Structure 1
Amino acid sequence: MKSSIKGSTWLYATVLSFPCTLAAVLSSPADLSTREYDFIVLGGGTGGSVVASRLSENANVTVLVVEDGGNNEGQLALEVPFMGVTLPGTAFDWNYTTTPQDGLNNRTFHYTRGHVLGGSSSINLLTWNRASDDLWNRWASLTEDDGWSWKQVEQYYLKTSQLVAPSDGRDTTGQVDPSVHGNGPVEVSVSGFLTDIDPIVEAASKELGGRFKFNVDYNSGDFVGTSYMQSSIGGGERSSAATAYLPTDVRGRTNLDILLNTRALRLVQTDNSTAGPVFKGVQIAQSADDTPITITAKNEIIVSGGAFGTPQLLLLSGIGPEDDLKELSITPLVNSPDVGNHLLDHTLLPNYFNVSINGTWDDVVRDSAVFNEKLQQWLDTRQGLFTDSPGNSLSYLRLPDNSSAFAGIPDPASGPLSPHTELIFVDGFAAFGPIAQPATGNFITVLSAVSSTTSTGSLKLASSNPFDIPLIDPRLLTTTFDIEAMVQAMKDTQEFFAADAWQTDVKPVPFGDLATATTDELLAEYARNNAFTESHPSGTARMSPDNASWGVVDSKLKVKGAQGIRVVDASVFPVIPECHIQAPIYIIAERASDLIKADYGL
């Protein structure tokens, strides 16, 4: 998410950060001791970190990770949860920009993706949702592979993460269900610093019930209702794929090399087979001026570039829509029309409300002295506001059964345990969109989102130059369902705030243009003027049944029509989860690791 909160706070974080490179982490292709590995992982983000860690557990297997970004180690802004809002627009961000968006009144917006070891898990706002049971069963149905059903992937979810105590050590009985959590390396907790509004969210939920019912723990598989947010935070610090799966002892493995600041330019065909061309080579370089070098994998290449980087690399390698490739003078090697298409993301909209209470964190981001005081508290004690991302509570809601949004279409949610919309409650003015934070006043922000989105976009190459940014067109809010679902979410926010629990002291009042948006048409126009992305892109190399003509990878994540390539990231989602997507990526990567091990008898 792009945020105007950074400013002087980012300067302070930069002063306190420092580079740290461990022995197993290489800074140049010239440092490679060999150009052949058993496995090459292209992208050291969420999925790539998991696969590299799991494969290199076998000391007889050599693994290379090629990461375009830098090292996560020693970077304060990556460690402090609250400072996630300062990271868009920095060196840790790919700094993508969309094409003009028809559904957003022709606006463009900044698209944040992690450009550092750990990928977006190193810079996101940390929410931990494993998706509903219905979502996983839907994936199993779409791919005709029961291995993606919840009963089969639950073991991988339990392997990804563990529930830890929040940094304030409070009793969390009734705020989370420990029995539905596992014992993996990612640390997950509820808020370590409750703001004034968090207990009011719970009270309003229990007062209203119905669609706003209180849900103790979404990660039990039911993603409908209101709950405390769970985040990838342990001991008051961010827990990312880099810190959890590539800690110091893993980086020290003699069979694992991690090459930073290096781009995969294109996959190299090394042979032919009856199943299609074989790709076991990849060209890499650190800049457009470098002479590329080719490295090879004895077994296979795992592409983990994310929903943008993966299709870009496949297209540059001649794998994609044949006509699009020819237009850029790229020789088509595998005609795969779905590559780069079917991009799905959640549309996000900030809704601002004036409140009658003091004590919101508005002054923290307005006043550098107050900000630095809170940061120093975190540095000294790992306590206080900065142990959390900006929001601590949320609602996932289904539309009313009689909603006109369903007219003429099947319900886009995966089932009754999956929501249509999301509301995130923030104890301050979260300047994520085009509206600047006012100089005075106290605010609550509700970030409303369309969770079961139906707007579909695409990624295309701008040129055949691997260093050119691709053309990203998510086409947000371009379906009637998505517009009507967003309007309903905005109306639900105001209904929620009408509960007695809010009216005693807080008394939220719509701010700015939201105050005059008194009809569905005006609410929709407010959304078009202010919405952007929740930064959950997916689906650009989607899974499909092994023999299906659609899709890019099969249910074992192997690229169709080719040999030697597997994809492990959010691009393979056959449909987008109705929740935040980092935990599903971890689950996919854990299962992928086992699939790879089984294929090679490891």
Structure 2
Amino acid sequence: MKDAAKPGGNKCGGAPVVAVAAGLTSASKTLRVLLLEAGGTNEDRDLRVDGQRWLTFQNKDLNWGYKTTPQEHCQDREVDYSRGKGLGGSSAINFGVYSVGASDDYEEWARTVGDDAFRWKEIQRRFKALETFHSNLPEGVDSKYAAPKPEHHGDSGKLQVGYAKEWEKDLPPMLDLFQDAGFPLNPDHNSGNPIGMSVLINSSHNGRRSTANDLLTPTPEGLTIVTSAPVQRLILEGTKAIGVEANGKRYLASKEVILSAGSLDTPKILMHSGIGPKVQMEKFGLPVVKDVPAVGQGLRDHMFCPLVYTRKEGDTARAPFYGDKAAMDAALEQWKKDGTGPWSKFACEMGIGWFKLDNLASCEEFKALPAEEQAFLAKETVPHYEVLTHFPIHWFIPGFPEDSLNYSCLLVWYLNAQARGEVTLQSADPDTPLRHEPRFLSDPFDRRVAIESLRAALRFAKHEGYAKDNTGTLTAPKGDSDEDLLAYWEQTLSSSWHMTGTTKMGRAGEADAVVDSDFRVVGFENLRVADMGVVPVLPSCHVQAVAYVTGATCAEKLVAEYGLA
């Protein structure tokens, strides 16, 4: 391969690896890049139905189907740990929330690794280059709900993001209720300051989901894509990476091998190549090239729980649609024809908000945190919890009563989890998944923020303007004591599938750093990692946008290093 080859065993790191490939091939017409994808092409247009974005993860051909270990603080439940399979990775099965997080997330990233390339100004520039933002609101909708400024958004990128053309009738009144209950409105959650209640910016446009595949449409000159090629291990000459093995085939690289298999699978490839914790590799008889104890450590994630209430008749229009298969089938035919109709309306626009907990700094669990973490949590743009409205929960609760489809669902997240989990070997077979141990709710601070976040969301749920239209409770805590709120989290917690940190980026000499700020695996030549595993912070957002910008940043650094611009 003439200049650079990028075999990426991207089982589930689709957005970063595609962003790397797009960035490299757009910089040079002579560069030859190889992208290895473990799954299929994901070309079927019907996978892009906007309102069905909540269902694609149930497609076993698109999902690796991972689970966590039984979680001690979640009643020993195995929690769903879905990861996307196929070109585009998890962007093909995620829920279409396009949020970039807090500017202070990136300032912290830059400070942590000692590299200004990760400061907000530089990251925002890359975000803008990735997207075409569609700011139009439905006719008759007041701009107080969404008033994004052009300087915060791009207009020529291949990712199509923005607001749905049609909103459910109860969305604007819901936003008004949040404001009445003391939750301020935010006209643009992607400005760098997400604090406040916003209207969701989606990774979709005109009823069609936008995924990482869009970055490679049309296929760039110089790019070769091989699907159904899961990478099992690296090919090393000493500490120099020269290629990978996938399904018994060898793919060689003349310049760079860049892994982008995601937080749950890149560590697996590294460990089966002899790079990782010595004690784990020796346990399963794997050769040890270099003892790197940090590989697979530092796993962090977001998690959420639901509040669901039935509403008075006519409050929503969901029941007549979701309760009528013929109506849904007809709507799908309409979508196939022109991208319009109910499947481009229901569950396509939502309220989403990020907030601070006023009393957080006074709690003992906060005071016990390291001073640097306390300072970060106090930053102006860093939220402590999130609320999302209009989530189609009936698809996620087995046996959901059909006579209760006229409901309102609020999802509650707690952010900045302090628990650190790990992914570890459980077999000498490179096709066997790692053991996934996130340790949800294991840290006292996490339990405190979970309790207070749920309490804050219940303050809205009990607000007179909202509560008066509730006719029943489908799922909520039995009381408002700390014990009741924590027990509810333990019973209902779900992962957001925002896994980060298992091949953490850091400064030279740091024991927990697997890669440096140029994405190079420390101690190795021609080997880099570019996926959410390297991200040293847990961004205050739904991380698909961070995955894209991580890949774009890696590509930009390679372009500069090799003089490709």
Scaled by the length of structure 1, what TM-score is found?
0.86
Change (3 A) 1:116 1:172: farther
- The answer (yes or no) to whether the contact 2:138–2:167 under 8 Å persists in 1 is no
Partner of 1:536: 498
Corresponding residue for residue 456 of structure 1: 420
Q: Is the 8 A contact 1:344 1:453 kept in 2?
A: yes
Q: Does 1:263 align with 2:263?
A: no
Kindly provide the amino acid, as one letter, of the partner of residue 63 in structure 1. V
| Equivalent of 1:373 in 321, 330, 333 | 330
CA 167–551 in structure 1, closer or farther in 2 if over 3 Å, else same: same
Contact 2:242 2:257 in 1 (8 A): yes
Cα drift, residue 390 of structure 1: 5.4
Partner of 1:79: 48
Amino acid in the other structure paired with 2:71 = Q
Corresponding residue for 2:246?
284
Mark the CA change 1:233 to 1:508 in structure 2 (over 3 Å): closer, same or farther. Answer: farther
Q: 1:577 to 1:584 in 2, by over 3 A?
A: same
Confirm or deny that 1:64 pairs with 2:34. yes
| Residue 387 (1) aligns with residue 353 (2) | no
Percent identity reads 26
> Which of 317-326 and 200-209 deviates more?
200-209
Q: 1:517 aligns to what?
A: 479
Equivalent of 2:449, from 472, 485, 493? Answer: 485
* Aligned match of 1:303: 259
Q: CA deviation at 1:540?
A: 0.6
Find the residue that maps to 2:287 and give its secondary structure: coil
Matched, 1:507 2:463: no
8 Å CA contact retained: 1:37, 1:297: yes
In structure 1, the partner of 2:295 is 339
Tell me, in whole angstroms, the C-alpha distance in 2 between the residues paired with 1:114 and 1:166.
Answer: 30
Whole-angstrom CA distance in 2 between matches of 1:196 and 1:96? 37
Distance 1:460 1:369, change over 3 A: same
1:163–1:178 CA contact under 8 A, matched in 2 = no
Q: Residue 155 and residue 138 in structure 1: after superposition, are their counterparts in 2 closer, same or farther (change >3 A)? A: same
Shift of 1:75: 4.1
Distance 2:472 2:477 in 1: 8
Distance in 2, Cα, partners of 1:131 & 1:312: 28
SS at match of 1:97: coil
Supply the AA of the counterpart residue of 2:43: E
> What secondary structure does 2:7 align onto?
strand
Deviation per residue, 1:568-594 (Å, 9 max, x gap)? 110111021011101111112111111
Aligned counterpart for 1:89 among listed residues 58, 62, 68 = 58
Match of 2:148 in 1: 177
Instruction: Indicate whether 1:47 and 2:29 are aligned.
Output: no
Contact 1:538 1:570 (C-alpha < 8 Å) held by counterparts: yes
Contact 1:36 1:295 in 2 (8 A): no
Is the partner of 1:298 in helix, strand or coil?
coil
SS at match of 1:250: coil
Aligned partners of 2:15 and 2:548 also within 8 Å: yes
- AA matched with 2:400: Q
Residue 236 of structure 1 and its aligned partner are, at CA, apart by 1.4
- Unaligned 5+ runs, structure 2: none
Q: Which residue of 2 aligns with 1:564?
A: 526
User: Could you tell me how far apart the structure 2 residues matched to 1:417 and 1:250 are?
Assistant: 38
Cα deviation, 1:179-208, whole Å, max 9, x if unaligned, reads 210132111112333113311232123323
**Residues of 2 paired with 1:414 and 1:182: CA distance?**
29
Distance 2:3 2:36 in 1: 13
- Separation of aligned partners in 1, 2:334 and 2:140: 18
2:98 corresponds to 1:128: yes
Give the letter for the 2:411 counterpart.
L
Counterpart-to-counterpart distance in 2, 1:87 and 1:313:
26
Q: Secondary structure at the match of 1:549?
A: coil
Within 2, Cα distance between the matches of 1:80 and 1:418?
33
| SS of equivalent to 1:157 | helix
Distance in structure 2 (CA, Å) of the matches to 1:104 and 1:170: 45
The superposition leaves residues 216-252 of structure 1 with CA deviations (integer Å, 9 ceiling, x where unpaired) of 1011111211110101111210111102x111x225x
* Distance in structure 2 (CA, Å) of the matches to 1:509 and 1:41: 50
SS in structure 1 at match of 2:309: strand
Q: Which amino acid aligns with 2:67?
A: T
Q: Quote the Cα distance in structure 1 between the aligned partners of 2:322 and 2:175.
A: 26
Which of 91, 96, 102 lines up with 2:72 in the alignment? Answer: 102
* Structure 2 counterpart of 1:466, from 425, 430, 455: 430
1:203 alignment partner in structure 2? 176
Counting matched residue pairs gives 548
For the aligned residue pairs, the C-alpha RMSD in angstroms reads 2.2
Paired letter, 2:219: V
Counterpart contact for 1:283–1:295, Cα < 8 Å: yes
Distance 1:283 1:420, change over 3 A: same
**Distance in 2, Cα, partners of 1:265 & 1:192:** 44
**Structure 1 contact 360–427 (Cα < 8 Å) conserved:** no
Q: Which runs of 5+ in 1 are unaligned?
A: 1-33, 286-291
Q: 2:161 aligns with which of 167, 184, 188?
A: 188
Correspondence for 2:310 among 354, 357, 363: 354
**Is the contact between residue 164 and residue 207 of structure 2 (CA under 8 Å) also seen in structure 1?**
no
Q: Is the 8 A contact 2:331 2:343 kept in 1?
A: yes
Of 385, 394, 403, the residue aligned with 1:440 is 403
SS at match of 1:85: coil
Offset, 1:548: 2.3
In the alignment, which of 482, 493, 496 is matched to residue 460 of structure 2?
496
CA distance in 2, matches of 1:166, 1:476: 39
Q: TM-score, normalised by structure 2?
A: 0.92
Deviation at 1:171, TM superposition (A): 6.0
- Name the stretch that deviates more: 474-483 or 380-389: 380-389
1:115-154 matches, within 5 Å, as 115-154=85-124
1:265–1:503: structure 2 CA closer, same or farther, 3 Å change rule?
Answer: closer
With over 3 angstroms needed to count, the CA separation of the structure-2 counterparts of 1:536 and 1:428, relative to structure 1, is closer
Q: Any idea what SS the aligned residue of 2:335 has?
A: helix
1:441-487 Cα offsets, whole Å, 9 max, x none, are 22111111112111221111221211112111111111222222222
